[in-house]
Amino acid sequence: MARRQNPRSSSGADTLPGTDDFAENITDIDVSEEMETSFLEYAYSVIYSRALPDARDGLKPVQRRILYMMSDMGLRPDRAHVKSARVVGEVMGKLHPHGDAAIYDAMVRMAQGFALRLPLIDGHGNFGSLDDGPAAARYTEARMAAASLALTGDLDEDVVDFIPNYDGQLTQPEVLPAAFPNLLVNGTTGIAVGMATNMAPHNLVEVIAAAQLVIANPEATLEEVMELVPGPDLPSGGRIVGLDGIRDAYRTGRGSFKTRAKVSVEQISARRTGIVVTELPYMVGPEKVIEKIKDAVNAKKLAGISDVTDLTDRQHGLRLVIEIKNGFNPQAVLAQLYRYTPLEDSFGINNVTLVDGQPQTLGLLELLRVYVGHRIDVVRRRTAFRLGKRKDRLHLVEGLLVAIMDIDEVIQIIRTSDEAAAARERLMSIYDLTEIQANYILELRLRQLTKYSRIELEKEQDELRREIAELEAILGSDSLLRQLVSRELGDVAEKYGTPRRTVLLEHDDAPALGSKASAAAAGAAGAAKGKAAPLQLEIADEPCWAILSATGLVARTAHAEPLTEAGPRARHDVFRSVVRTTARGEVGALTSAGRMLRLQVVDLPQLAPASGRPTMAGGVAAKDFLTLAKGEALVALVPLDTVVAMGTAQGVVKRVSPDYPLNREDWDAIALKPGDTVIGAAPAADGDVLVFVTAQAQLLRYEASAVRPQGRTAGGMAGIKLGAGDAAVFFGVVGAADAEEKAVVVTIAAGSDALPGTSAGSAKVTPFAEYPAKGRATAGVRAHRFLRGEDRLMLAWVGRGPARASSSAGVARSLPSEFGRRDGSGVTLAQAVDEVGPSFA
């Protein structure tokens, strides 16, 4: 019990002056009852007047008051922006007696395109982002967005009830007319006392289509509605993974679903692969993602990430680049990111809203029915209001038609009357007019009577009667009323609708992240159950091929499957060097300057197999991958653990021993003379054959054992004897098994004075076995007899089964060997093309 007592005694010196008439009044109050009553009043105020939206217009009281006040201020989309502080002051002073911060926060949210699917306020200035707050109200400007006109339209036509404001001096709408289902389109969030709401945004076109279905068929089922509204459509786009939780929410009003960022794995540089994020989950900002990634990396939860860069700008939108370390599987790193960062987030649907002033949890179908009922009531009241206005106008027009038939007499009656009341009575008695008609005639100015011609009034009378008949038909037919509501909804969808942004995925098809040890077993088990096998985080050290193509592209294959002449690749591009290695191994890159560069195979881009074979379309240019000097080119890829033979343009040959330095990334593999360049290199065992072809069509072959292996600083030895003005154009190694059976020599001649591509030239293919072996440092034998106008070889190639690139980006059959004898000339290029096809390369 609580008791209030007088702190002073009523006797002696303690008596207060002037308190002789004081009467003590002590009231006993039950504290528990008082707390219960006060708390319930507070809770009701928060639920009804602050935190929960109305199911009809989808707005909380503060949002509704902001839009109504902006409409009352005339801040339409075709008017200039005004200071946000002015709007906040009007709302606070007239309708919402709370702090200006709460009003401005609600106003800001309605202007944020990343928060609402269809923003209701057109903001000018800094209205914040997902990572930063907005500027103060005195710095920003605002006006109504076009969509908010649909929410506040027809307010002056008695479509909703108006209630007093907080001090009873003004009135405000109890609910807005809402020409579209704002609660479903924009969603909402709020925390009340003992309850909360969290509703997801949806696509306007889909929601209106569902509302039209409910209008046409009030008995429509949830399954029929969900065919039109398959799931939320978030402002930020992204992907929704798993639809079971959405179905639960649409059925019961509660559920949850996972949202994921929209990502792609791209080659962001010659050596680096990256995960590029272009859309994030709902209400997740890039700075938050970057912070979480850094925290997870520092905590050793994330591996394989070297850098995160935010390249977002106004022109291209969101672009978050997560750089992956070499040797890590991007898909496995992405699975880690989904697990430890907001790139995957969950959204809990809790459809708590006010229906007839009572908080209820509604499913999708119930929400649509509440909105449709509200909209039908709005249109019915609007129709009745317009009907009354037109009937009133028709009544006045009919009175004017009576008066205008005898306008002179009407004027005479008015002039001869002593007062207005007498004139009114005489008009009503003489012309059988009502008091309203008589007053309207008396209030007209004399100059206004001239424009009321009989024809115009009769035309207006007919038009009014037609409109009255239409309005009465709508009010008298529930079917016509529903058709009108549905048609107006369709107009709103056509005017404000936008394509869906969020992709809906029924299942999570991403493979799980597994360890190396359990990858095979889990993969087999997953395959048996129909699930994806777990991913390995790091790329396994499996056998593969390192490839250099004729156009200077470098890459590696996923596996060490046999490389044959058949198989797709980029058009007019063939394999120049192929080295069998492992994914985490090293190969050497030999340049035309005689430099050997150590190359990590895992750094090479992996080729995507097409039709079971690798295609060089996924390679990267060597000049973008290696640091090459001006005029220096990549000649070949070679293994670092075997003897390699190389030849130069001046006819020097060298077999270098694999005693390369372990602490250096590049070194000289041959000491070249001034002006000399390396033209070819390949692994060469003692039983293999070394081949030179010169520009003067001289071919020399001899055993590789004739060239002893040397150290990397040696300058090599004489490989072929060159004539005056001659130079080697080809050096290669032919395997011992291919030298006598499968290897061929391809030569193409041209004129040195002709511009490239203008000389007809001739081509020749000859079996390599027809060329006799000669000693090292000799001139060799003739390989091509020049025709008239020819004086050099434009191209020479020796190896197994020459192939040509086909027009379908594949590799066709080998060229025929009947083009010419060893010591004879070839056939013209036109003839060669006719025989092997138009895509000879």
Q: How many helices (H) and strands (E) does the chain have?
A: 20, 42
> Which regions of 420-552 does DSSP assign to beta strands (E)?
503-505, 513-514, 535-536, 543-549
pLDDT tens by residue, 708-718? 999 988 989 99
Query: How far, in Å, CA of 60 to CA of 47, rounded?
Result: 10
Residue 40 has pLDDT above 90, yes or no: no
Average pLDDT over residues 67-96: 95
- Average pLDDT rounded to a whole number, residues 276-297: 94
Mean pLDDT of 529-534: 48
Average confidence (pLDDT) over 681-693: 93
- Chain mean position to CA 501: 8
Please state the rounded mean pLDDT for residues 797-822.
Answer: 52
3-state secondary structure 569-623: CCCCCCEEEEEEEECCCEEEEEECCCEEEEEEHHHCCECCEECCEECHHHCEEHH
pLDDT band at 831 (very low <50, low <70, confident <90, very high): low
pLDDT of res. 15: 52
The CA–CA distances, whole Å, from 413 to 197, 397, 482 equal 69, 20, 51
- CA dist., res. 265 & res. 618, Å (int): 13
Which range scores top for mean pLDDT: 484-493, 532-541, 622-631, 761-770? 484-493
φ and ψ of 435, to 5 deg: -60, -40
As a residue count, the chain comes to: 841
For residue 791, the one-letter residue type is D
Q: Which residue, among 636, 640, 669, 639, has the nearest Cα to 652 in the 3D structure?
A: 669
Active site residue: 44, 68, 104, 139, which one?
139
Token pair of 65, please? 């008051």
Q: Residue 427: what are its φ and ψ, rounded to 5°?
A: -65, -40
Q: What tokens does 427 get?
A: 């008009």
Check: CB of residue 819 under 8 Å from CB of residue 832.
Answer: yes
Stronger pLDDT, 810 or 425, i.e. the higher one: 425
**Position 511 confidence tier, pLDDT thresholds 50, 70, 90:** low
Lowest mean pLDDT among 391-395, 399-403, 659-663, 830-834: 830-834
Q: Please tell me the distance from the alpha carbon of residue 476 to that of residue 470, in angstroms, as a whole number.
A: 10
Task: Report how far residue 68's alpha carbon sits from residue 94's, in angstroms, rounded to the nearest whole number.
Answer: 11
| pLDDT of residue 662 exceeding 90 | no
Instruction: Reply yes or no on whether the pLDDT at 552 is more than 70.
Output: yes
The one-letter amino acid at 24: E
DSSP result, 671-735: -PPTT--EEEEEE--TTSEEEEEETTSEEEEEEGGGS-EE-TT---EE-S---TT--EEEEEEE-
pLDDT in tens, 234-284: 999 999 999 999 999 999 999 999 999 999 998 888 778 899 999 999 999
Residue 1: per-residue pLDDT? 41
- Poorest-confidence range of 22-26, 39-43, 540-544, 611-615? 611-615
Per-residue model confidence as pLDDT tens digits over 578-600: 899 988 889 999 999 999 999 88
Lowest mean pLDDT among 477-486, 498-507, 606-615: 606-615
Query: How confident is residue 363, by pLDDT bands cut at 50, 70 and 90?
Result: very high
Q: Residue 498: helix, strand or coil by DSSP?
A: coil
pLDDT of residue 609: 61
Active-site residue 440, yes or no?
A: no
- CA dist 113 and 384 (Å) reads 37
Contact 62, 102 (CB under 8 A): yes
Cα atoms in the Cβ-side hemisphere of radius 13 Å centred on 727 = 12
Chain-wide mean pLDDT for the chain?
85
Residue 147's closest CA among 116, 173, 172, 174? 116
Q: What is residue 823's predicted lDDT score, i.e. its pLDDT? A: 64
- What is the per-residue pLDDT for 452? 67
Contact 562, 631 (CB under 8 A): no
Residue 830, pLDDT score:
56
Query: Packing angle between helix 61-72 and helix 100-111, nearest 10 degrees?
Result: 80
Q: Which of 57-61, 363-367, 505-509, 647-651 has the weakest average pLDDT?
A: 505-509
Contact by Cβ (8 Å): 634, 571: no
Q: Which tens digits make up the pLDDT trace of 599-622?
A: 888 888 887 665 445 566 667 888
Residue 841: what pLDDT? 28
836: pLDDT strictly greater than 50:
no
User: Cα–Cα distance between 139 and 379 in angstroms, integer?
Assistant: 40
Distance CA 147, CA 637 (A): 63
Predicted confidence (pLDDT) per residue in 431-468, tens digit: 889 999 999 988 887 666 666 678 888 999 999 999 99
More confident residue, 604 or 121: 121
Q: pLDDT confidence of 37, banded at 50, 70, 90?
A: confident
Are the C-beta atoms of 533 and 509 separated by less than 8 Å?
A: no
What are residue 743's phi and psi, to 5 degrees? -80, 145
Can you name the residues that pair with 98 across neighbouring β-strands? none
Torsion of CA 501, 504, 508, 509, to 10 degrees: -80
CA distance 679 to 364: 73
Stretch 811-840: mean pLDDT, rounded? Answer: 50
Percent of the chain with pLDDT over 90: 55
Please name each of the domains of the chain with its CATH number: 50-178 (3.90.199.10), 384-489 (1.10.268.10), 541-641 (no CATH), 646-658+668-841 (2.120.10.90)
**Could you tell me where the DSSP H helices lie in 299-404?**
330-340, 364-404
pLDDT at residue 56 in the model? 94
* Segment 380-416, tens digit of pLDDT: 999 999 999 999 999 999 998 888 888 888 888 888 8
